Structure 1
Amino acid sequence: MAVNDPKTVAWVLDGPKVLAVVGLSDNPERPSYRVSAEMQRRGYRIVPVNPKGGEILGEKVYSSLREIPFPVDVVQVFRAPQYALDVVREIGEMVARPRVLWMQEGVVNDEAVAEAEALGLLTVQDRCLYKEALKAKG
């Protein structure tokens, strides 16, 4: 499998998907909030993952990926690169695994990519989902 394969990016952008956003902040000034809000406006279901709990963007916040009681299509990572491997290992514990691991712009961790691919996930790293959506559809 190839990291940042254009077919993987196109599949994510092809229409509404369920995005579990690890590290989604409730602060509207944070990139995770702004990107998630825009993807939500584009029809994507946002599933916030943050140990704080509560509600973000009108959606229940789950403290971990393992707590999400329904399938997600994409796990999007808004955490520092050193935590990406922990996210992948948590994906490995999910009952229904997502199809794609998307590590946002600035999140580069080749070890996490290798483990994600070993789990059968398609991977995107160091790319902004919102910027890719703008390029694809405007």
Structure 2
Amino acid sequence: MVDPFADQDVIRRLLNESKTWAFVGLGDNPEREVYTQARLLQERGKRIIPVHPAAQEVHGERGYASLAEIPDASEVDVVGVYRRTEHAGQAVDEAIAAGAKAVWLPLQVIDEAAARRARDAGLDVVMNRCPAVEWALRR
């Protein structure tokens, strides 16, 4: 069965063509997976925007407490939702409201209803995939 939220063309396009990723859940804790993923994409030329209630600077980038606080949030290409599944839907809805172009839910963050809402709103959606793994597959 084909996973509608793991379209290889969408994944390839988001990894290759996107410029700005907002990472919901990105704080200054290097023990968290989101910290590593954000660094990886930054090292590959992406601008990263930390989104965390503490609004901390991370990897040299100013943090914001919410997606709504990002100036020109409509210029965000991808919102990475690094929250537990039970909180992912709210972050997806905020991404839709902010005018983001895509949402990426990492491994084990699965919210089919939120993914459908995003897709129905015109966003590209990737779910239950790791950017680092997908990037390695494209080498």
Is 1:93 matched up with 2:87? no
SS in structure 2 of the partner of residue 60 of structure 1: coil
* 1:58 matched residue in structure 2: 60
Tell me, which stretches of 5 or more residues in structure 2 are unaligned? none
Aligned-partner Cα distance in 2 for 1:8–1:93: 21
* 1:8 matched residue in structure 2: 10
| CA deviation vs aligned residue, 1:47-92 (integer Å, no higher than 9, x gap) | 0000101211100001000111121000001000111110122123
Aligned-partner Cα distance in 1 for 2:77–2:35: 19
Q: RMSD of the TM alignment (CA)?
A: 1.5
- Among the aligned pairs, what percent are the same residue? 37
* 1:116 matched residue in structure 2: 118
* 2:44 matched residue in structure 1: 42
Aligned-partner Cα distance in 1 for 2:63–2:126: 24
* 1:105 matched residue in structure 2: 107
Once the two structures are TM-superposed, the CA of residue 24 in structure 1 deviates from its matched residue by 0.9
Is 1:81 matched up with 2:85? yes
Contact 1:16 1:45 in 2 (8 A): no
SS in structure 2 of the partner of residue 20 of structure 1: strand
Tell me, which stretches of 5 or more residues in structure 1 are unaligned? none
Contact 1:16 1:43 in 2 (8 A): no
Query: How does 1:119-130 map onto structure 2 within 5 Å?
Result: 119-130=121-132
Q: Quick check: which one's helix share is greater? A: 2
Aligned-partner Cα distance in 2 for 1:86–1:39: 24
TM-score, length of structure 2 as denominator length: 0.91
Contact 1:26 1:33 in 2 (8 A): yes
Instruction: List, as ranges, runs of 4+ consecutive aligned residues in structure 1 with deviation greater than 2 Å.
Output: none
TM-score, length of structure 1 as denominator length: 0.92
